[in-house]
Amino acid sequence: MKSLHLICSVALGILFFSLNLAAADRKSGFGKIPKPDELVSLDAVTLQTSTGKWFTVTVSFTPRKHPDPEKAFNEDFIDDVKLDLYICLRNDSREKKFKRERKREGTDYVVADLYDYYHAGVEIITLKVDNIRKELHFLISNELAERDGFNRTVKPVGHVVEMTLGGVPIAFKEGIVFEKYREKSVLEKFKEFAQTKSKANEGLLLPAHMVNANYLSNAPAVKMGPSPSASGL
Secondary structure (DSSP) of the chain: -HHHHHHHHHHHHHHHHHHHHHHHHHHHTSSSPPPTTSSEEEEEEEEE--SSSEEEEEEEEEE---S-GGG-SSTTEEEEEEEEEEEEEE-HHHHHHHHHHHHHH-----GGGGEEEEEEEEEEEEEE-SS--EEEEEEEEHHHHHHTT-TT--S-SEEEEEEEETTEEE--TTSEEETTB--HHHHHHHHHHHHHHGGGGTTSSEEGGGT-GGGGTT--EE-SS----TT--
Confidence of residue 145 (pLDDT cuts 50, 70, 90): very high
pTM of the model: 0.83
Q: Which of 53-57, 134-138, 202-206, 225-229 has the lowest mean pLDDT?
A: 225-229
38-58 pLDDT, tens per residue?
999 999 999 999 889 999 999
Q: Is the pLDDT of residue 59 over 70?
A: yes
Q: Is the pLDDT of residue 164 over 90?
A: yes
